[in-house]
Amino acid sequence: MDDNAERLKSLKFKEPVIDVAFSPTADLVASSLITGHIFIHRYSLAGNQRQHRLKPHRKSCRSLCFSGDGLSLYTASKDKSWQSLDIATGTELTRIEEAHDKAINVVKYVNEQIIATGDESGGVKLWDIRQNKPAFTFKEHVDYISDMVFHSEKRHLLAASGDGCLSVYDVRKSKPFHVSENQDDELLSVAIMRGGKKVVVGETDGVLGIFTYGQFDDVTDRFPGHPQSIDSICKLTEDLCVTGSSDGLLRIVQLFPHKLVGVAGDHKSLPVEKVVLSYDQQWLASCSHDHTVHFWDIGYIFNEDASDDNEDEDAEGGEQLDVQAMAIQVSKGVAVDIDNDEPEIDIDGLSDGSELRARSDPEASVDGDGSSDEDGGGDADDDEAEVDVVDSDADSDDANSLDSSDEQPAKPTTTSVKEEPSNTNAGNDEDASGSDGWGSWGDSDDDEGSAKRQKPKETKADKQKAKRAALAELAKPDGKKRAASASFFADL
């Protein structure tokens, strides 16, 4: 199967992407940039199409979210304002200037009447959308609000803060429902799991803290395992979530029992700012400091009930495991053999495709043929401080996709079992038996005959089982304690 044909192209921008959100009703994804720009794209396997390019804020747009019906988009900025946009036309519906005394970090849609905002000083406000004014204001924290989540059944808003506390608010009341004890570490992300019975928070030291709902004084369980901070948590099922960490990996984590299941994606050691799930549960989108929104196929998680005897699904699952193993090995510095697995990229704002290649691999050779797309100028009404982030007038993202073959490392040479090695490098410590960490995941073509004589033939089910076991072992952290990175908000 052609892996690139089954994967959404990434979206490339000229400046860092701070937040990303999927529409709850359509194949739309919104991205916010450090320049204050908002981009809305319609994504598909045939190619991504830009719907809107807007600049609603003077400073960086730190957070965005869709309304429940998918018709509006809410954005919040460092300039202390929040606003709502009409998705169909891109026009401004509501704008509140000086909404907070400090820069706003998070905006969260609660219901058709209320949205919530949290600022970098710890303030939380619940806004009455009908009257465009705050209904309740809370000052329970002394440090920035990092993330918020809404429990629709309880009608509770939960907010994680850099001061190490989790606060819970009943959106119908003016006083907080509960504020937890200090967890002695910054809380960076929060999610509700296990049918609303558990609340999971990500901490800077790489620990998942778990609260039992209603018992918010202190965590009832802790799950260490991430080598660096957990900056984002995306719920998949009631027992599975995806974590975005400062080491660049998107890890699939199971709770009760707690274990690392695998890796969904890799940003190559760059901190992950946000990871979200599409409305049809087919794609993950994540953004990092690489100026890119990447898409990862996660649909196989929700299709585990399919028959193991289906050979097509077995092959697809094997390829997915290979991608996960590759991501883990890249993050650990192990040399891997990449065979045209790089996702294609749609470029928003790059006038020359060779610029992207130069950023990703300065030593790689650049092909100077017609692959570069000379772009027209930016909008004339933007201010001078704005970075020109535009597509070409042709408005075709396919023309901006890059060939990932320039970034492929050379395959390690292998030797036959019967013959003396004649072309193997003298300094190569890896033998043909798989000592590079891949074990028996697959022999080279040269060793195919000898492998058949040395071991019995494995079925596809056996290989799948072996891959999953090896992947679980490979996903375990190396145990090295690394310094937690500072909040990305401090640099904006």
Beta bridge partners of 157: 150, 169
Sheet holding 240-245: strands in order across? Answer: 230-235, 240-245, 249-254, 259-266
What integer pLDDT is reported at residue 462 of this predicted model?
72
Give the predicted TM-score (pTM) of the model: 0.67
What integer pLDDT is reported at residue 344 of this predicted model?
A: 54
Which residues does the chain have with pLDDT short of 70? 1-5, 304-461, 463, 467, 470-492
Tens of pLDDT, residue by residue over 121-166, are 999 999 999 999 999 999 999 999 999 999 999 999 999 999 999 9
Which pLDDT value is given to residue 80? 96
Convert the pLDDT of each residue in 428-462 to its tens digit.
Answer: 443 433 333 333 333 333 444 444 444 455 666 67
Nearest by Cα to 177 from 168, 187, 188:
168
What is residue 482's predicted lDDT score, i.e. its pLDDT?
A: 42
* Amino acid 348: pLDDT: 57
pLDDT score recorded for residue 302: 87
Question: For position 69, what pLDDT does the model report?
Answer: 95
pLDDT given at position 474: 60
| Matching residue, tokens 């294609």 | 344
Which residue, among 157, 163, 126, 120, has the nearest Cα to 141 in the 3D structure? 163
Spatial contact of 343 and 10, defined as CB atoms under 8 Å apart? yes
Closest CA to 85 of 157, 156, 37, 155: 37
